[in-house]
Structure 1
Amino acid sequence: MVEELNITRIPVSNVPSVPTVASYDDHRDKETPIVIDNGSTTLRFGFCTSDAPRCQPNVVARFKERRTNKPLLLFGDGVDVESGARAQARVPWEGGVLLNFDALENALDYAFIHLGIDTQTIEHPILMTERLASPLHSRALTSELLFEQYSVPSLAFCVDSVMSFYHNNLPTPSVPFISDGLVVSFNAASTSVIPILSGKGIMSHAKRIPWGATQATDYLLKLIQLKYPTFPTRVTSFQANWMMQNFCEFALDYPALLRKLTDPLQLRASERIIQFPFSIPIAEEKTEEELTRIAERKREQGRKLQEIAAKARMEKLVQKENDLQHMLTLKERREEESKKDWAEILQEEGFDNDAALESAIKKLELNLKKARKKEADGDDMEEEPPSFPLIDVPDADLDEDGLKEKRKQKLMKAGYDARERAKREKEREREERIAEERREAEERDRDLKGWTNKMRKEQEAIMNRIKERNRRRAALNDRKSAAAQARMKSIANLAADDRVPKKRRKHGGEDMFGADDADWAIYRKINTAAPSSDEEDDLTNLHTVEQKLLTHDPTFSEDQTHASLSSQRSALISAFRPQYEEGDVEGKTRLHFNVERWRVCEPWFSPSMAGVDSAGLGEVLQMVLARFSDQEKGRLVKNVFVTGGPSQLPGLLPRLQATLRPVLPPEMPLDIVRASDPVHDAWKGMADFAKTDEFKRVGVTRAEYEEWGSERIKRWWGGNWNSSVPM
């Protein structure tokens, strides 16, 4: 039994409070280092002596206030306060590369102001993060901005994931940092693998794949849009990111998981339901008197429509009978006319030959038979035949009103005669049906097994016809299939119809399609949406056969009926995306997550499934480890360190364990750990390092900047350039 699922609702975000400005008194004239983690989505900043950083979304918007018409500069949470500012929002990073330095300058202004700095220049050393393998010109422009605009005394750059590793492997005061490990960093725009030996990042062997939290969020948003193309509420990127953080996880074996989820019960058990806000339409309440009046008006309108429809049916029925009588009279003249005259008469009447006349007569007789039967089913017959006294009166003996009444009585008599014929036909069909049921009952009593086999074969034959019809309809959607190519040939043949000369077709000649009954067979063949002429009859006959088997065959159950088999085939689709009734507003605003929970995370290991031409995380790890000796490899895999926001998703550590264990020798120990705080450990590691004496040696001072320029680089173990990388 599938347990009842709880409905999780999107939380309502409150208007952010105004950040407070810190006191600068504790750091005035002390040159306390400032640590800035310049992330692509979040800016974290603070003095290195702080316990935790201040955090703001790394987004800037220039906005003109409507009431005062004054230009405003909004940063972080302030951008979301004004709806008009969101469209003008900009970020310093584009695709993981720092390009927008105006936005970076605004972000730095915000950071320094909220740290309480009230001096003309920034008199504190700066330690700032940069992306792995960041372009040299990006670092140079950032250095130029900090030295020229803010006059900082020194500036150092570091890789955030290395500093997170440093914070989780802090050395003792008397021992230098010499830890070994393999850092796997899950960032917003990318994922990187950095080997660290003896406390030094081997950046020449580091690898990066272009898939991160931002791409995963966009991928989830596309999956939602594909699954729910008519969803009534707009799903934002913020909501998609919240769903990814709360519902998505890594699969230990994704193909095996998909095979497991082919069971509808397993698929339903794994789903999570997100209920979006909705409003129930308020129905207008009416009094009892108004409801009675509306119902009476509807009944009166229905009665009038029935009268109009009955009169129209009667006129059509009389017209068809007259046409049939005319055709039968025309057919009788065939023996009296010569062959040439007969051909001319047929041409004048619109028939090509005798076969066309016979076909038209048969078709009209069939239509009359159906119309009489429908008329007999819909109307009650009079107990006593009505009288039509004026029909036999000559027209010369009647005045104008009498002639009108006579024509009316003729129409009524024709309708009465048609109903009588339909009644007799219906009675004859009823007698034939009773006789057929009697013969079938005798056959069933005589040989129940044989009758059952015959009914089952008939059911199978009808079901095969329905399957073939559905298969052909599906094949028409594939332009390379034989059915689709035959359809195109039929369309081409219709376009080359020689019943209208090319010259007349070119100048807008009359389209003769439909003049021949065979045209409509072609139409049903080329039109994928047109229902087959036998489809309705097959479904009716199938229902009749199955009802007989359910009544008389004890071995035939409801599970063997066509409806049950069809529902079993569609159970997986129903579990993947449940359908709600038209009026269910609450159900229409729900998102059902099942396969997407694991599919969003799988591109980290198989980027190609999301359209990214890159190696997966497992291949990258294997390539990085292959560049080291077995001894060095053993030192690395003893401490596989994962950090970054997406590393908190469930199932990552077991997946990495299952990925790395087969490529390592059995005797080699493997230990995978997660950062104690994957989101803030990078800033905390930077703060720890900024307190050490070594920090003063790795930064570029203002004097060195003025002498060597903005491209001056100092090699050290936590930066993109170190002693293991040739300059």
Structure 2
Amino acid sequence: MDVDESNVSYLPQQSLPTVHVPASYDEHRDKHTPLCIDNGSTYLRFGFCTSESPRVGTNMIAKYKERKTNRPLLLFGEGIDVEGGARSQARTPWEGDVLLNFDALENALDYAFIQLGIDTPTVDHPILMTERLASPLHSRALTSELMFEQYSVPSLAFCVDSVMSFYHNNLPSPPVPFRSDGLVVSFNTASTSVIPVLDGKGLMSHAKRIPWGAMQATDYLLKLIQLKYPTFPSRVTATQTNWMLQNFCEFATDYTALLRQLKDPLQMRAADRIIQFPYTLPVAEEKTEEELARIAERRKEQGRKLQELAAKARMEKLVQKENDLAHLLSVRDRREEESKKEWADTLREEGFSSDAALDSMIKKLEADLKKARKKEADGENEEPEEPPSFPLVDVPDEEEGLKEKRKQKLMKAGYEARERAKREKEREREEREAEERREEEERDRDLAGWAARMRREQEAIMSRIKERNRRKAALTDRKSAASQARMKSIANLAADDRVPKKRRKGGGEDMFGADDADWAIYRKINTAAVSSDEEEDFATLQSVEQKLLAYDPTFTEEDTHASLTSQRSALMSAFRPQYEEGDVKGKARIHLNVERWRVPEAWFSPSMAGVDSAGLGEVLQNVLARFPDHDKGRLVKNVFLTGGPSQLPNIIPRLHATLRPILPPEMPLEIARAADPTLDAWRGMADFAKTDEFARVGVTKAEYEEWGGERIKRWWGGNWNSSVPM
């Protein structure tokens, strides 16, 4: 298929990990400079509060034994990708949105302190560390125990990352205290939270969180891709899927209207984004023109020989059937002449169990010969010809002319069968002409009623065709009801009780086909068999549509089955374009269209991805409903977005379209995004660590030793403040 190459994007090449050189510790030695650690689910950001930007590493560790030297290694972040087998043993401190793996956290903190150049036995710096909204108290207690017991830090304070990002972007000029209002919407890795802030204090008792974040969105996009491309030649990883999410997905202001727009194949193709995966072209031998010409001539010759062999086989089969029919007819003629015992012996010699079996076989042969002769009669010249004569048929049997007489009998039977076929064809033509006359009279009398009847007939035939196609598709699934019914039919045929078990075991006669119902069962169990009803339905449908096109002015080409099927096929082709067999480059491409908006829409409708939770719009409405109009106006005047997924396009227009209808018309609504959604949380922590207030919000080592890890200090940026009871 033709593809605009300018619309093709290539997966980024995996770069070698950067070797990070530990910083010099001389600048901060014995100065007690506060240390800020943003312990995120994806990245660990750490640094002294006096630094302009933090050091960043993937928050993941792996304990791995090197193959060559058999030495145990502890890898962190990008270093995991250096060793091929280390990825399978990688661990993160987080399990979803809860901090659980404290061994991994300890290893990550070891790496952070080494990179900061801290070479003293203890970490003699106050620590400001992030935690998730509504974190369990035991997670904070174990983290405090690790910090005070393992590293002997002088003090430790916890804060909510999104509140610190809000603090950094709304930081007042000193010495004015922080008194900003706003509604913080934080898009995290494993969740999305909404935190109201009034007078510079996060109201955690009114905050809400939904279990949908970047990790779930990436997993959802990966499942959609796997469903769309079940036989994709390459393995699509979560890292590649996350890259697609960040670069091609966006929010829709009106998702329902967008879906209606994408029903147009042209709009679907315009929305398409193509991702090219790596591929390897097969090595093919190049042939000369002479070799190609010889191969083509050889194929033509083989085709001609196959046609001749097929024609010869058909003729031999037809002659054999005529001989078999003549023989069986002669056998049936002896029924009246022989006694019952002799007739039973004759049937047994011929391989029949009863008269019904003999009559059924004769009937089947006559039907096959009638069908073959009808085809032959259709191809013959319609000019009248003199009937042939068969003089030996009525002559008494003589040994000398017996062979010729049998031949003339067969020729006479064939001629009479062809004549009957011609008469049958003429009768059908007369009935068809009479039916056309009746239809013409009905059209002249009531055109609207005739057209309505024809349309109902067209819809009924299309429904049968659709149901037949649905059944064929269901048979490919072994767990479907149709497939299980097919297996039951096969099992019933295998347990056919018309032949006794002893006789079946001893090689008794197979009775399948003796009953006409057997062939209906065969059509059910044979998924590849072409149904005669299907051919008849298509022929009837074409005839009905031709009549409607000719006589019904309201029926157009767009209403025909072919046009409707073509429209669906065009939409499916735009949704997932099909490449020619052998196009290795095209087979290694992923087309994203509907998925670009469907995945971000899950933030507002998690149920579409199988998550039983309220969407972001419903949560915002629920949070705002708890405030009077005066406070609500202060909140919506500064709706603040932070976190990596907040960088997806059109998130601000979508939130505006969600919030505006639930607010009074005169209430101003302003939505802003963090200047740097990924680093502003750490920068806000650094800003706060430089203030005098920081020394009052941390738990000191002496307090820890007296009260334990559950010691909490309430302050405006933490999970516990004065509005939340202990």
TM-score (norm 2): 0.82
Work out the CA distance in 2 between the residues paired with 1:155 and 1:593.
46
2:464 corresponds to which of 458, 463, 468: 468
Q: CA shift at 1:544, angstroms?
A: 8.6
**Alignment check: 8 A CA contact 1:705 1:712 kept:** yes
Identify the residue that residue 514 of structure 2 maps to in structure 1. Answer: 515
Secondary structure in structure 1 of the residue aligned to 2:334: helix
User: Counterpart amino acid of 1:628?
Assistant: F
Q: Would the alpha carbon gap of residues 126 and 526 (structure 1) be closer, same or farther in structure 2, given more than 3 Å must change?
A: same
Deviates more, 1:565-574 or 1:493-502: 493-502
Are 1:608 and 2:616 an aligned pair? no
Deviates more, 1:60-69 or 1:259-268: 259-268
Secondary structure in structure 2 of the residue aligned to 1:77: helix
Q: Would the alpha carbon gap of residues 296 and 248 (structure 1) be closer, same or farther in structure 2, given more than 3 Å must change?
A: closer
Identify the residue that residue 54 of structure 1 maps to in structure 2. Answer: 55
Identify the residue that residue 394 of structure 1 maps to in structure 2. Answer: none
Secondary structure in structure 2 of the residue aligned to 1:83: coil
Work out the CA distance in 1 between the residues paired with 2:49 and 2:12.
34
Deviates more, 1:42-51 or 1:615-624: 615-624
Identify the residue that residue 389 of structure 2 maps to in structure 1. Answer: none
Identify the residue that residue 652 of structure 1 maps to in structure 2. Answer: 651
Work out the CA distance in 2 between the residues paired with 1:449 and 1:7.
58
Work out the CA distance in 2 between the residues paired with 1:463 and 1:359.
38
**Alignment check: 8 A CA contact 1:201 1:718 kept:** yes
User: Counterpart amino acid of 2:470?
Assistant: A
Work out the CA distance in 1 between the residues paired with 2:338 and 2:245.
86
Identify the residue that residue 36 of structure 1 maps to in structure 2. Answer: 37
Q: Would the alpha carbon gap of residues 470 and 624 (structure 1) be closer, same or farther in structure 2, given more than 3 Å must change?
A: closer
- Structure 2 regions of 5+ residues with no counterpart? 380-403
User: Counterpart amino acid of 1:652?
Assistant: I
Q: CA shift at 1:266, angstroms?
A: 2.5
Identify the residue that residue 69 of structure 1 maps to in structure 2. Answer: 70
Secondary structure in structure 2 of the residue aligned to 1:274: strand
User: Counterpart amino acid of 1:189?
Assistant: A
User: Counterpart amino acid of 1:470?
Assistant: K
User: Counterpart amino acid of 1:697?
Assistant: R
Deviates more, 1:168-177 or 1:363-372: 363-372
Q: How do 1:214-225 and structure 2 match up within 5 A?
A: 214-225=215-226
Deviates more, 1:75-84 or 1:542-551: 542-551
Are 1:80 and 2:81 an aligned pair? yes
Work out the CA distance in 1 between the residues paired with 2:364 and 2:510.
23
Secondary structure in structure 2 of the residue aligned to 1:600: helix
Q: CA shift at 1:549, angstroms?
A: 10
Secondary structure in structure 2 of the residue aligned to 1:211: coil
Identify the residue that residue 686 of structure 1 maps to in structure 2. Answer: 685
Q: CA shift at 1:175, angstroms?
A: 1.3
Q: Would the alpha carbon gap of residues 105 and 483 (structure 1) be closer, same or farther in structure 2, given more than 3 Å must change?
A: closer
Q: CA shift at 1:142, angstroms?
A: 1.2
Aligned residues: 690
Q: Would the alpha carbon gap of residues 722 and 271 (structure 1) be closer, same or farther in structure 2, given more than 3 Å must change?
A: same
Work out the CA distance in 1 between the residues paired with 2:287 and 2:96.
59
User: Counterpart amino acid of 2:535?
Assistant: E
User: Counterpart amino acid of 2:67?
Assistant: R
Q: How do 1:486-565 and structure 2 match up within 5 A?
A: 498-500=497-499, 512-525=511-524, 530-536=529-535, 538-539=537-538, 562-565=561-564
Identify the residue that residue 159 of structure 1 maps to in structure 2. Answer: 160
Q: CA shift at 1:299, angstroms?
A: 6.4
Q: CA shift at 1:540, angstroms?
A: 6.1
**Alignment check: 8 A CA contact 2:461 2:541 kept:** no
Identify the residue that residue 386 of structure 2 maps to in structure 1. Answer: none
User: Counterpart amino acid of 2:112?
Assistant: A
Identify the residue that residue 592 of structure 2 maps to in structure 1. Answer: 593
Identify the residue that residue 634 of structure 2 maps to in structure 1. Answer: 635
Q: Would the alpha carbon gap of residues 551 and 89 (structure 1) be closer, same or farther in structure 2, given more than 3 Å must change?
A: same
**Alignment check: 8 A CA contact 2:462 2:561 kept:** no
Q: CA shift at 1:425, angstroms?
A: 6.2
Work out the CA distance in 1 between the residues paired with 2:418 and 2:459.
31
Secondary structure in structure 1 of the residue aligned to 2:36: strand
Identify the residue that residue 576 of structure 1 maps to in structure 2. Answer: 575
Q: CA shift at 1:516, angstroms?
A: 2.3
- Cα deviation, 1:293-318, whole Å, max 9, x if unaligned, reads 65676567667766765665555444
Work out the CA distance in 2 between the residues paired with 1:432 and 1:544.
19
Secondary structure in structure 1 of the residue aligned to 2:186: strand
Q: CA shift at 1:353, angstroms?
A: 6.2
Deviates more, 1:607-616 or 1:533-542: 533-542
User: Counterpart amino acid of 2:262?
Assistant: L
User: Counterpart amino acid of 1:176?
Assistant: P
Q: CA shift at 1:45, angstroms?
A: 0.9
Identify the residue that residue 146 of structure 1 maps to in structure 2. Answer: 147
Work out the CA distance in 2 between the residues paired with 1:54 and 1:703.
30
Q: How do 1:328-339 and structure 2 match up within 5 A?
A: 328-337=329-338
Work out the CA distance in 1 between the residues paired with 2:533 and 2:200.
78
**Alignment check: 8 A CA contact 1:473 1:528 kept:** no
Q: Would the alpha carbon gap of residues 59 and 504 (structure 1) be closer, same or farther in structure 2, given more than 3 Å must change?
A: farther
User: Counterpart amino acid of 1:76?
Assistant: G
Identify the residue that residue 391 of structure 2 maps to in structure 1. Answer: none
Identify the residue that residue 27 of structure 2 maps to in structure 1. Answer: 26
Q: CA shift at 1:354, angstroms?
A: 5.7
Work out the CA distance in 2 between the residues paired with 1:3 and 1:327.
64
Work out the CA distance in 1 between the residues paired with 2:587 and 2:690.
56
Work out the CA distance in 2 between the residues paired with 1:619 and 1:462.
46
- Cα deviation, 1:491-523, whole Å, max 9, x if unaligned, reads 897688552458888999876433323211133
Work out the CA distance in 1 between the residues paired with 2:507 and 2:209.
65
Q: Would the alpha carbon gap of residues 93 and 509 (structure 1) be closer, same or farther in structure 2, given more than 3 Å must change?
A: farther
Deviates more, 1:546-555 or 1:145-154: 546-555
Q: Would the alpha carbon gap of residues 618 and 538 (structure 1) be closer, same or farther in structure 2, given more than 3 Å must change?
A: closer
Identify the residue that residue 110 of structure 2 maps to in structure 1. Answer: 109
Q: Would the alpha carbon gap of residues 177 and 548 (structure 1) be closer, same or farther in structure 2, given more than 3 Å must change?
A: closer
- Cα deviation, 1:211-252, whole Å, max 9, x if unaligned, reads 110001001101111111111111111111111111212222
Q: How do 1:346-495 and structure 2 match up within 5 A?
A: 346=347, 349-350=350-351, 357-368=358-369, 464-465=460-461, 467-474=463-470, 477=474
Deviates more, 1:667-676 or 1:715-724: 667-676
Work out the CA distance in 1 between the residues paired with 2:485 and 2:279.
48
- Cα deviation, 1:612-642, whole Å, max 9, x if unaligned, reads 1212212222222222233222222221111
User: Counterpart amino acid of 2:170?
Assistant: N
Q: Would the alpha carbon gap of residues 465 and 524 (structure 1) be closer, same or farther in structure 2, given more than 3 Å must change?
A: farther
Identify the residue that residue 171 of structure 1 maps to in structure 2. Answer: 172
Deviates more, 1:592-601 or 1:348-357: 348-357
Identify the residue that residue 188 of structure 1 maps to in structure 2. Answer: 189
Q: CA shift at 1:190, angstroms?
A: 0.6
**Alignment check: 8 A CA contact 2:360 2:514 kept:** no
- Cα deviation, 1:655-684, whole Å, max 9, x if unaligned, reads 222222222233322222211111111000
Q: CA shift at 1:481, angstroms?
A: 12
User: Counterpart amino acid of 1:72?
Assistant: L
Secondary structure in structure 2 of the residue aligned to 1:470: helix
Work out the CA distance in 2 between the residues paired with 1:243 and 1:97.
26
Identify the residue that residue 265 of structure 2 maps to in structure 1. Answer: 264
Identify the residue that residue 396 of structure 2 maps to in structure 1. Answer: none
Identify the residue that residue 394 of structure 2 maps to in structure 1. Answer: none
User: Counterpart amino acid of 1:674?
Assistant: R
Q: CA shift at 1:130, angstroms?
A: 0.6
Q: CA shift at 1:76, angstroms?
A: 0.8
**Alignment check: 8 A CA contact 2:161 2:681 kept:** yes
TM-score (norm 1): 0.82
Q: CA shift at 1:265, angstroms?
A: 2.6
How much is the aligned-residue C-alpha RMSD, in angstroms?
4.5
Work out the CA distance in 2 between the residues paired with 1:252 and 1:605.
11
User: Counterpart amino acid of 1:18?
Assistant: V
Work out the CA distance in 2 between the residues paired with 1:713 and 1:26.
32
Identify the residue that residue 663 of structure 1 maps to in structure 2. Answer: 662
Q: Would the alpha carbon gap of residues 592 and 715 (structure 1) be closer, same or farther in structure 2, given more than 3 Å must change?
A: same
**Alignment check: 8 A CA contact 2:249 2:595 kept:** yes
Q: CA shift at 1:60, angstroms?
A: 0.7
Q: CA shift at 1:184, angstroms?
A: 1.0
Work out the CA distance in 1 between the residues paired with 2:598 and 2:25.
48
Secondary structure in structure 2 of the residue aligned to 1:84: coil
**Alignment check: 8 A CA contact 1:466 1:535 kept:** no
Q: Would the alpha carbon gap of residues 291 and 660 (structure 1) be closer, same or farther in structure 2, given more than 3 Å must change?
A: closer
User: Counterpart amino acid of 1:468?
Assistant: R
Identity %: 74
Work out the CA distance in 2 between the residues paired with 1:687 and 1:481.
60
- Cα deviation, 1:130-160, whole Å, max 9, x if unaligned, reads 1111111111111111222222121111100
